């Protein structure tokens, strides 16, 4: 066992300010000279970017289904051995989802601090806090913090509404600087928020006088026997990864797996009209191609390099937004149609509401690969799926996976450490 102070930041729902508060807390403890490791519950690319800037370290995913309980245990034990504090930001509300944030907190004994937005609320705050704390008695409940509080008197009313045995962690006042901008897939990317560092510092200052500024109690995490090294299934293979404002939905664990399998990683920016140099394989991750369609259409050098790569029969793996760039065209919600690369037959049309959301897994020759899907577009293509993912909880058909020459494309964002052999097959262009 290895012990490390740890705290789980949750809430009754999305939109309560969890990310801002977790980022502020990470920065506050980092300013005190502590080594802080932050994790994000569930599949997410945007919140971890902000939390990484706040903590100064990569933010990995914890999810009992996608990552697996053993995988989560290993990540937490590793963090506990090198950090002075572990913070875990929950997903949605504390009890939402199967598995939920509460399930994760119970599995590893991490105390839960609930952040409740108290805007337009008084004594009902106490009822919400009571429900969160008592709904499942086995959840280790640390206390409750009131966010978006209007005044000192408002804070007093909220505190007085709490049952005597529920810990009041303090309050944070309503403040426009503590609200992070968002769009259709969630928060803006960290690189797009010009004053993000100032906002994080402001959030840290706002937490100075709360009980969250104190180190939480230590949690004992079970150490995991060191696993044998992974076979170097991608030894010597040069993999180029698109990475810029249009393509940024990248799990750090996915890149770490490619490197552990022996791959050499290089990055290129399609928005910068860069060409991947000497790539044996290319990965186009998800992101926001719909916001940059015109710029992508002008990236002639990048386009020529990708076409030459495919014509040479080299593997190209595309997820979600990366797949949209490969299509013949992309039409936005205003009806503007922009030609794309034309390396995958079909077109995509952006929707005003999300088209798919949820955890999925895909099975093939090498077993099962877990992941998730979340997108606002719909694709029409004459291609027949090579494989079809399944929803995690229902087993219903999910996202198709298309194979077109050396191109493999799907809406599903895969968590590659769940199946290294499947991942290696993607980048070798072999049977899936």
Cβ contact 95:72 at 8 Å: no
Active site residues: 320
Q: Which helix (H) or strand (E) holds 72?
A: helix 69-82
Compute φ and ψ for 181, nearest 5 degrees: -70, 150
Q: Which residues contact 148 (CB under 8 A, 6 or more apart)?
A: 17, 117, 118, 119, 172, 173, 174
- Buried residues in 51-76 as b, exposed as e (16+ CB within 10 A): bbbbbebebbbbbbbbbebebbbbbb
**CA proximity to 325, closest of 283, 373, 362, 281:** 283
Q: Tally Cβ neighbours within 10 Å of residue 203.
A: 26
Would strands 238-242 and 186-187 be described as parallel, antiparallel, or unpaired? unpaired
Task: Tell the residue number behind the tokens 């809406």, with chain if given.
Answer: 411
Q: Which helix (H) or strand (E) holds 154?
A: helix 152-160
From start to end of 303-421, where are the E strands?
A: 316-319, 329-331, 337-339, 347-350, 356-364, 367-375, 377-380, 387-391, 397-404, 407-410, 413-414
Q: Which residues contact 183 (CB under 8 A, 6 or more apart)?
A: none
From start to end of 261-305, where are the E strands?
A: 264-268, 281-284, 286-287
Q: Which helix (H) or strand (E) holds 23?
A: helix 18-31
Task: State both tokens at 318.
Answer: 């595309």
Compute φ and ψ for 333, nearest 5 degrees: -70, -15
Q: Which residues contact 239 (CB under 8 A, 6 or more apart)?
A: 258, 263, 264, 265, 266, 279, 280, 281, 282, 283, 427
Compute φ and ψ for 213, nearest 5 degrees: -70, -20
């Amino acid at each position: 066992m290895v012990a490390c102070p740890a705290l789980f930041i949750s809430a009754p729902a999305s939109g309560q300010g969890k990310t801002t508060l977790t980022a502020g807390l990470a920065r506050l403890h980092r300013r005190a000279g502590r080594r802080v490791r932050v994790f994000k519950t569930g599949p997410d690319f945007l919140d971890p970017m902000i939390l990484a800037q706040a903590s100064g370290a990569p933010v990995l995913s914890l999810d009992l289904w996608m990552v697996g309980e053993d995988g989560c245990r290993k990540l937490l034990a590793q963090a506990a051995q090198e950090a002075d504090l572990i913070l875990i930001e929950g997903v949605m509300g504390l009890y939402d989802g199967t598995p939920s944030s509460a399930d994760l907190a119970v599995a590893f004994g991490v105390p839960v601090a609930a952040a409740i937005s108290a805007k337009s609320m008084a004594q009902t705050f106490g009822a919400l806090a009571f429900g969160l704390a008592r709904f499942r008695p086995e959840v280790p409940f640390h206390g409750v913090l009131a966010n978006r509080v209007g005044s000192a008197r408002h804070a007093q009313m909220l505190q007085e509404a709490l049952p005597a045995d529920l810990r009041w962690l303090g309050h944070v006042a309503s403040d426009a600087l503590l609200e992070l901008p968002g769009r259709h897939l969630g928060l803006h990317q960290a690189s797009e928020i010009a004053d993000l560092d100032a906002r994080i510092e402001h959030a840290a200052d706002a937490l100075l006088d709360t009980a969250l500024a104190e180190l939480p109690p230590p949690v004992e995490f079970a150490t995991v026997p060191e696993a044998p090294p992974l076979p170097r299934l991608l030894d010597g293979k040069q993999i180029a990864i698109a990475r810029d404002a249009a393509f940024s939905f990248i799990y750090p664990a996915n890149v770490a797996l490619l490197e552990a399998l022996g791959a050499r990683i290089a990055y290129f920016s399609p928005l910068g009209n860069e060409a991947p140099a000497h790539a044996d394989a290319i990965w186009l991750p998800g992101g926001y191609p719909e916001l940059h369609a015109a710029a992508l259409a002008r990236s002639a050098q990048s386009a020529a390099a990708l076409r030459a790569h495919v014509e040479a029969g080299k593997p190209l793996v595309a997820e979600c937004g990366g797949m949209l760039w490969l299509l013949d065209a992309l039409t936005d919600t205003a009806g503007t149609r922009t030609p794309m690369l034309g390396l995958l037959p079909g077109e995509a049309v952006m929707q005003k509401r999300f088209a798919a959301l949820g955890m999925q897994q895909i099975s093939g020759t090498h077993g099962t690969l877990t992941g998730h899907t979340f997108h606002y577009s719909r694709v029409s293509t004459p291609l027949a799926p090579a494989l079809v993912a399944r929803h995690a909880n229902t087993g219903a058909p999910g996202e198709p996976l298309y194979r077109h020459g050396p191109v493999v494309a799907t809406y599903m964002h895969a968590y590659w450490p769940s199946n290294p052999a499947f991942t290696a097959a993607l980048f070798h262009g072999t049977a899936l």
